[in-house]
Every structure is written in structure tokens, then in C-alpha cells.
Amino acid sequence: MESHLAESVRAALAQLPDLPDGFDAGAVEVEFQTPNDASHGDLATNVALQLARPLKRAPRQIAEGIVAHWTPDPARVEAVEVAGPGFINVRFASAHLAEGLAQILDAGADWGRTDTHADETALVEYVSANPTGPLTVGHGRNAVLGDTLANLLAWTGYGVTREYYFNDAGRQMRVLGESVRARYQAAVRPDTPTKEIEGGVVVPESFPEDGYRGAYITDIARALADGHGDALLDAPDEAPFTAAARDAIFAEIEATLARLGVRMDEQFNERTLYESGAVWEVVDRLKEAGLAYERDGATWFKTSALGKTEVTREGGEEGKDVVLVKSSGEPTYRLPDIAYHLDKLGRGFSLVLDVFGADHIATYPDVVRGVEALGADAGKIDVVVYQFVTLVRGGEPVKMSTRKANYVTLDELMDEVGADVVRFFFLMRSPNTHLDFDLDLAKEASDKNPVFYLQYAHARIASIERKAEETGLVAEGGADLGLLTHASEEALVKTLLQFPDEVRAAAEARAPHRLASVYLRDVATAFNAFYRDCRIVGEAPDLAAARLSLARAARTTLANGLAVLGISAPDRM
RNA sequence: GCCCACGUAGCUCAGUCGGAUAGAGCGACUCUCUCCUAAAGAGUAGGCCGCAGGUUCGAUUCCUGCCGUGGGCACCA
């Protein structure tokens, strides 16, 4: 619709008299948007206001000129008018609405999908939690955001791959293994000496200072004791404990994600970057390019040559380099991350989307610098950063830390409020704002809880359809959709017809909250107004059939929208 | 100190590329179930869009400075 209108506006522009030399009407961008105020019509363009300066003419005069030469398709446009300072408002013809409604019914479960990015592929990396403990609330926001962004991209045509980057290498994994080992020793040798650490916690003597204190560590150790007896006591290092912990914890993570409705297509193990030599290749190539060097036993990335600076104590500014490989021989996160992103880009995706928490924001530019320095197209990398989640219970924030085992797990959260509510709450705000997750509100199955508002509207339509079926009414094609002329009916159709654009806008802006807490609520509200004003069961058969079709279209839109968000659309509540 | 994000109604937040009278939910106050699900609907009250400049026909939106909040500034990830 918009492109048809824009084209005809450009044609009208070209016919205006006294156009300045060099003015190309065909190149003018004509944007249409849905006015906030319904009395301003169904679509409006501000093109006349924007052309005021280049054409050196009053905006209203330009608008009048456009309208005078404008010939939009009369089957779709009922009226055009100039309003306010120079807006041009367009009102749809009712035939356009009936046609649109038929399209919704025809598209069914695919309604809302577009092929905008049909020839493109996207890799979405999310969750990527270290397998050192159960998923927590913070991982939950990451998982739900990533999963939903992947859905949104898929609905706009991308071929989407969902990937979990599995951090199964590095120091944290060693600490994890040592934590399990200490618990194991205590499990098979009850007389193992103990010590007290920060917070008055009593642990085995060999427990690392920064070890993982969760009860799951003890469980894994006990399982090892049950399975192997004391045979692992003289293991040369912590490797078997690390492996056991990793496998047990990852199985838990997978189960939690499945429960949350989050699925992954691929798992990429950080270890393979070491096994294949990819990380060392990065170091070698950077050195060849003169962008890496040795100093104090460590390998440094010469980011100072790539624009990275820091401010000195004296207030001056100087270049800053960062460490790639510590003097201990162990790489920092940057090195495998650069290698991993090179790998992702090398797989030919048109878009590589990363989802990560605000604490990683400072690290991402170094990775981009590394990728660019080695000749890959970093422009394909896009990052969605989300702010932290604060759980609020009884008006008080709940403090969390994985290592100190003082946290609420994602499973506990789902136990308490259900997966649908968890997903919705993580999606209802812009990723860029801090999220207060109000447990008391989430638990409340009432009108205060926004997710129920959407699900209830869907269940209500399903109920109407059941009732209609009992009375022999069918919504199959053939209804005369031109009968839908009530203001509430037209308003509902117009709202429904925006769905594909809303999905696309949410995808482009990487902003699932637009769907969750704005558009779908508008759909439910528009349906509720229709429900109030227009009965179905008991009306004349023609009208009842047409209204039943409209209700079906509303249900389709709600169901598809909830599907994008990964939230169930119940038929009964 | 420096970097990033945020600051909009009592509370939690939307606000699309700079557009028309700045919106919603919750909370407060009125109303509406003989009727397809009242988990709903109609209405009222509530605003220095943090402050001050600048750009513009037009600024909540863009730029600069200041104030406030959160996060980040390691040979941690």
C-alpha cells in the first residue's frame, strides 16, 4: 500500500509547475505513517513539509499541488486531504479493508511473515552462559531476547541459525573442576580437614578461594563418589571433575532452556578454537600485520594503532594496547572471541547478531577491531546489549551472585510464575533499560498482569468460535466482508493489517517490546471494543459470518504475535 | 576522572526518519454484567518530557554543557 502511494505521490510531484532546476521528483523519499489521531486518516505523509525548503514554497501550497495532480487507486483510497501545516492524509476505501482481511484469513499461520530479507542469512548467538552453574535470571533475559530476535528475523525472511557459544575452556572451568574435586574429597573422606571462608561458609581445605559454592557442586561430587568410589582421589589434575561438572551442568542448562521454549540449532565449543589452532592463527596473523607484540612475557594487541585510547592520570590522552595472551600462557577472552567471530563471518552469514549483557559492552570494540584488522567485514556484526535484571520481591531488590550461590535460578522463577510470564516480562521493556522483575506482580494471575490480557483476548475468541460452531455458524471463506462497516470493525481491521509492518519494524529495531507491550496490546484492545459493540452469535447469518471471519483474523494475529514471542495462545483460560 | 546507557504522569514504562492536541498499563476516583469468557469495557483526575543553551518552519526526539541514576574502565569473562 505504502509503496503504491509513494509512487503516485512522486508522479504528482513531477507535474508541479515551476520546479527548480535539478529537482528530481522521482528521487524524493515519500514516507507514510499511521497518524496518532484517527481523525487524521489511515495514513499520512509529511513530504510537503520536508520539501518546503528545497522548493522554497509554503508546505501547504506544495501539499495542495500534490493533491491536485494525485490519482491514487480509487479502489483502495477513498479520500485524500491536506491538513494542519501541510500533512496529506489518506483514508482507505472499505474495499481495501475487505481485501486486506481476506489476505489475513488466507495467510493463516503465516500472516505477518514478509520476505524483506529472503536472500539473507543470520547467525544469532545468545545464552552462551559459562557452564559453571544453573541458569540465572540474567541468563534468562539473554535467552528470551535472543530467541525472540531470532524469531523476528526469521519472520522477515532471514534464514536463521541459533548458536550457543559454549565457554568450555579457560580459568573458570578450572575453578569449577577444583571446586568439585574438593567436595569429592570430602565426600569420600569424611575426615577431610575444613576451613572457613568469606561469609562464614565452611568448605574442604582444598576448596579454591573463589570456588563455586552452590549445592549443585556437592551433588555432582556425590554422584562421582557414588559412581567411582575413591578411585578419583589420585587423579593427576582436576580434568575429570571439570568434565563431569560440565556435562552435568550443561544437561541442566539444556533442560531449563527447553522449558523456557528456547531452542538452539548449533553449539560452538570454545575448546575447538584451541584444538584447531584458530586462536594461535589469530595471534600469528596480527603479528604479521604488525598489530601484536610480546612484552613482559605477555602478547599484546596493538589497539593503540587502531584508534583505542585512554585518558591518563594527568588528563592527557594516549594510545592503549590490550593483552591477548597472559604471561601465564593463557589467552584473555579477546583472543577466542576474535577467532570465534572470524569463524562466524567466514561461514558466510549476512548478519551476525550477538546478544549480551551491559557488562560486556566495553569488550566488544576490541573484538571488532581484531576482526577488522584481519580483513573480515565487521559491518555484518550487530550487537544487542541488554541492561541488568533486578528481581523485586515485596518491594525489595533480591541480590544475586552465581559464585556465592546467592541467586534465584531461572527454573525457580519458572516454578513460581510459569514460562509464559517469564518470557513476557523479559520482553516487555526495551533491552536498553534496567528491568525490574516484580515477582509479586508476575505471580498475580489477574488483570494487572499484562500477559494475561493478550492470552485472555485469544481465549475469548476461541470461546466465541466454539459457541458459533454449536449454533451451526462457520467462518469458512465466502463471507461478505464488505458488511463490516461498524467503526469498531473497521478500526480492528486496520489494526490487524499493520501486523506485518510491526513485525518488520520490531525486527529492524531489534526491539521485541514493541510487539509485546505495544502492538499486541493494541490488537487486544481493538478486539475488545469490537466484542463490546458487535455481537456475532444471534446476528443475521451474513453479518454473523463476516464478523466471525473478522474474529478469526484477530485470533490469527494474536496467535502469530504470541508465537513470535514464544508465548502460548490458550484456547481456554 | 574517562567511556556507555538511561532521566517522560504518584509507580513501571512506550513514543518509529525531527511533525499535528506527548501516550499506555498499574494505582486513585465514577460508572457498566438477564447479553458470544467482567482475566473485560466507558469515563475523570494526574506533565517544567532532569536543567540550560544551540540547530530548525517545527525539538521529548538532533548537538553542546551541567545535574542525577545504573553499568563498565585488570595479564577476570
pLDDT digits (tens, 9 = 90+) for A20-70: 777 777 777 787 887 777 778 888 888 888 887 777 777 888 888 888 888
Contacts of A150 (CB under 8 A, 6+ apart): A122, A124, A126, A160, A162
Does the C-beta of A295 come within 7 A of strand B? yes
Does the C-beta of A222 come within 7 A of strand B? no
Does the C-beta of A64 come within 7 A of strand B? no
Q: Residue A62: its pLDDT value, please?
A: 85
**CB-proximal positions of chain B, under 7 Å:** 1-6, 12-17, 19-27, 35-42, 57-58, 70-77
Distance CA A359, CA A366 (A): 14
Q: Residue A83: its pLDDT value, please?
A: 83
Place of cell 531489534: A510
- Extract the residue ranges of chain A whose pLDDT is less than 50: 313-315
Q: What is the pLDDT of residues A289-323, one digit of tens each?
A: 999 999 888 999 988 888 776 655 444 566 778 89
- Going along chain A from its start, the domains and CATH numbers come out as 2-92 (3.30.1360.70), 171-259 (no CATH), 447-565 (1.10.730.10)
User: Helix, strand or coil for residue A484?
Assistant: coil
Q: Residue A400: its pLDDT value, please?
A: 59
Sheet containing strand A322-325, edge to edge, reads A292-295, A298-301, A322-325
Q: Is the pTM of this model over 0.90?
A: yes
Cell of A283: 595471534
Distance CA A457, CA A38 (A): 23
Residue–nucleotide distance: A199 CA to B40 C1' (Å): 51
Q: Residue A61: its pLDDT value, please?
A: 83
Q: Residue A399: its pLDDT value, please?
A: 65
Distance CA A87, CA A67 (A): 11
Does the C-beta of A469 come within 7 A of strand B? no
Does the C-beta of A52 come within 7 A of strand B? yes
Q: Is A53 exposed, middle or buried (0-12, 13-18, 19+ CB in 10 A)?
A: exposed
Residue–nucleotide distance: A112 CA to B38 C1' (Å): 31
Distance CA A309, CA A497 (A): 50
